[in-house]
Amino acid sequence: MDKEWHGKWIADPRFAGLAPINIFHREVADDPLPPHNNELLNSHMLVRREFHLDNPGKQAILDISADDYYKLYVNGNYVGQGPAPSYYFHYYYNRYDVTSYLQPGTNVIAVQVYYQGLVNRVWNSGDYRQGLICELFVDDSLVVVSDSAWKYRLPTAYQGTKTYGYRTQFEENFDARKWDPHWSEAEYYDGDWANVAVKFGDDHTLFLQPTPPVQVYEKQPKSITQIEAGLYQLDFGQEITGAFIMEAQGAPGQVVEIRCGEELDADLRVRYEMRCNCQYQEFWTLSGALDRLEPFDYKAFRYVEVIAPDVEFDQSSFKVEVRHYPLSEDQCTFVTDNSMLNQIWSICQNGVKYGAQEAYLDCPSREKGQYLGDLTVTGHAHLYLAGDLRLYKKALYDFAYSSFICPGLMAVAPGSLMQEIADYSLQWPQQLL
């Protein structure tokens, strides 16, 4: 632990008294994982803490972590998300300068915390470690800590039991009738929200994340085609990683179908039943007001179809919230008079760009896991493209820490019930050298 925390781990009370499940086994282990309570899978938790400031000060620093993952808002403004996947005994927290988000008077820190509950390659989930820890310093004075005074609510807007890929993520059928878009704003009424539970004896050991949070920004489609009434096809021009967003207004209970895919089928419709074992077909139920689609997780795709008969929407609201590790594309450039070589460079550059998230991913769709073998390829290419050693160095540590599961290192890290691939492990000392 690299600092003394005054904030406490706070959690959904359903998790507060649960002992952690030991999910850290070799995949061939004879000892199976203990059963997991299915009611705790795919759990979203909204958390708020209002506070008063006479003066926002010259600098405000917020430290935060969550298990499995969080999205942070201050006074209704998106600030960041994380942390990068890690092991509980060396768990990461993020640090943000939130000075520009604060105001005199009432302020609020609002966090959406997600616990997936699946044992896969994405996070070390499925272990009952759920919750949030947070501290806010204003001009070096501790102003807010996570404690029992924080309020929470469990939203029911995210629905779906189907998973994509290798049980990598849950589908997100979003019901806008069960969502309040103002929940993250200051002076929002939370009098009917409950108080969080404090997790005494939590076993996370926290360290400042050595890499920046993922970069998140909006991207508009390259083209929008109306195939027929109420059916629109969007082409973003290339494979990207992110979450499709839009606004729409229809009758209460009216459903919009959204399909994402990497290619078109023989009928030139989006192939949402993808080759990577992901079926990107989801349904958005409207509230009757002007709604905004609120996805939490991300996908990998190029095309989107919006099927929405009798629904009003502005096509300019069709966007993707792109996410990837920050990359300055002018650090390394390649231009020739051969158009084919230029296209090869572009597709390879994008593959590295979007495959680098909080780790070097095998693929950002079906697995979302960091394989040691891919570190050898993607990691080296990323070094040349970005001139940034931080993600590479973090990956070396990720696999070193996996030795507590198997001295020969795991093939995926950070990972839990996971594979051993001997020739992958033999690459780790090469990468260290």
pLDDT band at 28 (very low <50, low <70, confident <90, very high): low
Strand partners, 240: 301
- What does the mean pLDDT of the chain come to? 94
**Could you tell me which residues are beta bridge partners of residue 398?**
none
Q: Which residue has the tokens 């209704």?
A: 76
Q: Look up residue 104 and give its two tokens.
A: 């005199």
Confidence band for 418, pLDDT divided at 50, 70 and 90 = confident
Report CA dihedral (270, 272, 273, 274) to the nearest 10 degrees: 90
CA 80 – CA 111 distance, rounded (Å): 10
Tell me the per-residue pLDDT of 170-220, one tens digit each, with 9 for 90 and over.
Answer: 999 999 999 999 999 999 999 999 999 999 989 999 999 999 999 999 999
- pLDDT digits over 109-136, tens only? 999 999 999 999 999 999 999 999 999 9
What residues contact 238, with CB distance under 8 A and at least 6 apart?
A: 302, 347, 350
User: Is residue 409 scored above 70 in pLDDT?
Assistant: yes
Query: C-alpha distances in angstroms, 335 versus 245, 338, 339, 412?
Result: 34, 8, 9, 35
Tokens 């909080």 belong to which residue? 358
Kind of pairing, strands 291-292 and 151-153? unpaired
Q: Would the pLDDT of 255 be above 70?
A: yes
Whether 297 and 248 have beta carbons less than 8 Å apart is answered as no
Inter-residue contact 321 to 289 (CB < 8 Å): no
DSSP state of 26: B
Span 304-327, pLDDT tens digits: 999 998 888 889 999 999 999 999
Mind listing the pLDDT tens digit for each residue in 135-177? 999 998 999 999 999 999 999 999 989 999 999 999 999 999 9
Tokens 């925390």: give the residue. Answer: 5
d(CA 175, CA 6): 37
Buried b (16+ CB within 10 A) or exposed e, 366-386: bbbbbbbebbbebbebbeebb
DSSP state, 212? Answer: P
The DSSP bridge pattern shows strands 206-208 and 91-97 to be parallel
Q: Give me the pLDDT at residue 374, please.
A: 86
Residue 48: its H or E element? strand 43-53
Which amino acid is residue 237, in one-letter code? G
Q: What confidence score (pLDDT) does residue 282 get?
A: 97
Per-residue confidence band for 29, with pLDDT thresholds at 50, 70 and 90? low
pLDDT band, residue 30 (cuts 50/70/90): low
